[in-house]
Chains A and B, each alone.
With several copies, the nearest count.
Chain A
């Protein structure tokens, strides 16, 4: 049976330190850890990115596959987001265990991309009603040092933004790949920001030791135009409505800061992709 004595002591320390605006690793309550983005690391994928936030590391890959459309949207391509926890990412992951945490992570990353409507799925149709491109976006958690959601969302986004798509020539019922690459039909840079509540304080970008003692978690994604496009409260604590309003305020600022960083790191032409 799990023991919770150490976390209780740790929690007290974290809260006390926060009273003077500090954190165990020296950050302020609203600081992110260092963010690194490396794209194109898997050249067999149509897009890929290795992203780290502090010690947390996630790799994402984008692959195209020809498949069937959904019957209710016969002329649109399909985006499928998956999340896998590589067992070496944390001593707590067991190989092969289906995990609600992985399912939630995949679905939160999915919603951040999907609801912001950055992918023009109508441009992924090959033969209307019959064949479309399936875009697989898979994130692999390689190192878990806290804040998986933001890291995974950023990895998926970076892989998508730097992906290209295969050109297909459609003649009747036949689909032939020309070998050329086309730009991804993508616009926008939705950014997810996660905060943890510990005691009655909010911590941006929680570290693993903060996550071990948190009360609950709040994630919100913003589009470049300031629209909110996904929210997820997590874990078995609660927020007051006032705390949530405050969390959204903080996250809005942080999302702009990170978006700037992404534009810079990915050398995005600000006008072409997701002009803010």
Chain B
């Protein structure tokens, strides 16, 4: 409790973990980390750690859920029982149900679903450790898992959150800032399409702060996007060198 009373932002605009207001945390993506999926990715985003596996396109089951004109996309966002401060029951909470829905809706616009009628694409997300922005990290990693699965995409979906802490807008809120802060606003964005596919906000901000937040979110998404592209490059370079070795 005492910890929360200490200031989260210093006079020279440095945050409790040493970042500037508009600085994102260290983000490390890894592609192709699982053996039994069609595509997978792992992300460490500050202390947040998430695994994503994609199955599909594959036959819909049960069949009556299949769609005649496009693939059915489902996302399952789950938190491991030990991923948060207090032990969490493995039964999906209402929060996990809602996040599964908005994550699916953030990713589906990027997928050429019309190419795979009557099939299912399932995106399974397991949060191993949660330290804020898990939905942003999930969406960003899931984009890479979809690429790894060879599913044609309109663009990568990059995602990040802006918060308001001690009256200032800060990029990429971590857990401590989220809990002590006044608002949290995650966005998912396809840069090359200028398309916002997720936007949520909790807390209170002025109209001006909202407009500034949108700018900051775009900037942050572009940084995440850059890291996503680097991860893809590294992965395929690895793939090519594997081929050469063979």
Touch test A–B (CB under 8 Å): yes
Binary interface profile of B, 66-108, with partner A (CB < 8 Å = 1, else 0)?
1111000100101011111111001010110110111011001
Binary interface profile of A, 69-103, with partner B (CB < 8 Å = 1, else 0)?
00000000000001010111111001110001101
Q: Which of A57, A87, A220 contacts B55 (CB 8 A)?
A: A87
The reply to whether B129 and A143 contact each other, CB–CB distance below 8 Å, is: no
Q: How far is the CA of A173 from the CA of B195 in the complex (A)?
A: 56
The reply to whether A107 and B105 contact each other, CB–CB distance below 8 Å, is: no
B51 in the interface (beta carbon within 8 A): yes
Q: Tell me the dominant secondary structure on chain A's binding face.
A: mixed
Q: How far is the CA of A37 from the CA of B86 in the complex (A)?
A: 25
Closest to A104 in B: B98
Q: Which of B94, B118, B190, B204 contacts A229 (CB 8 A)?
A: B204
List residues of chain B with CB within 8 A of the CB of A229: 203-204
State which size class the interface on B falls in.
Answer: 35 or more
List residues of chain B with CB within 8 A of the CB of A104: 97-98, 101-102
Indicate whether A140 sits within 8 Å of B49 (C-beta atoms), given known contacts A63-B81, A241-B194. no
The reply to whether B68 and A239 contact each other, CB–CB distance below 8 Å, is: no
The reply to whether A44 and B109 contact each other, CB–CB distance below 8 Å, is: no
The reply to whether B128 and A42 contact each other, CB–CB distance below 8 Å, is: yes
B172 in the interface (beta carbon within 8 A): no
Closest to B93 in A: A103
B226 in the interface (beta carbon within 8 A): no
The reply to whether B204 and A238 contact each other, CB–CB distance below 8 Å, is: no
Q: How far is the CA of A84 from the CA of B90 in the complex (A)?
A: 8
The reply to whether A226 and B35 contact each other, CB–CB distance below 8 Å, is: no
Closest to B63 in A: A1
The reply to whether B196 and A228 contact each other, CB–CB distance below 8 Å, is: no
Complex interface: stretch among A10-18, A244-252, A268-276: A244-252
B8 in the interface (beta carbon within 8 A): no
Closest to A103 in B: B97
The reply to whether A111 and B49 contact each other, CB–CB distance below 8 Å, is: no
Closest to A4 in B: B69
List residues of chain A with CB within 8 A of the CB of B204: 115-117, 223, 227-229
B134 to chain A, nearest CB (A): 12
A170 in the interface (beta carbon within 8 A): no
Binary interface profile of B, 187-205, with partner A (CB < 8 Å = 1, else 0)?
0001001111111111111
B70 to chain A, nearest CB (A): 9
Q: Which of A174-218 contact B (CB under 8 A)?
A: 216, 218
Indicate whether A239 sits within 8 Å of B195 (C-beta atoms), given known contacts A104-B98, A107-B95. yes
Q: Which of B68, B85, B90, B108 contacts A44 (CB 8 A)?
A: B85
Q: How far is the CA of A82 from the CA of B81 in the complex (A)?
A: 10
A20 in the interface (beta carbon within 8 A): no
Q: How far is the CA of A252 from the CA of B211 in the complex (A)?
A: 13
Q: Which of A1, A42, A88, A248 contacts B129 (CB 8 A)?
A: A42
9 A–B contacts from the bound complex (CB under 8 Å): A2-B68, A45-B83, A61-B80, A86-B126, A90-B36, A116-B204, A136-B87, A228-B206, A238-B196
B residues whose Cβ falls under 8 Å from a Cβ of A = 34-37, 40, 47, 49, 51-55, 58, 61, 64, 66-69, 73, 76, 78, 80-87, 90, 92, 94-95, 97-98, 100-102, 104-105, 108-109, 118, 122, 124, 126, 128-131, 183, 185, 190, 193-207, 210-211, 214, 218
Q: Beyond A3-B68, A84-B81, list 5 extra A-B contacts (CB 8 Å).
A: A86-B53, A107-B94, A228-B201, A232-B102, A236-B108
6 closest cross-chain pairs (CB), A and B: A88-B53, A61-B82, A231-B201, A238-B195, A45-B82, A236-B108
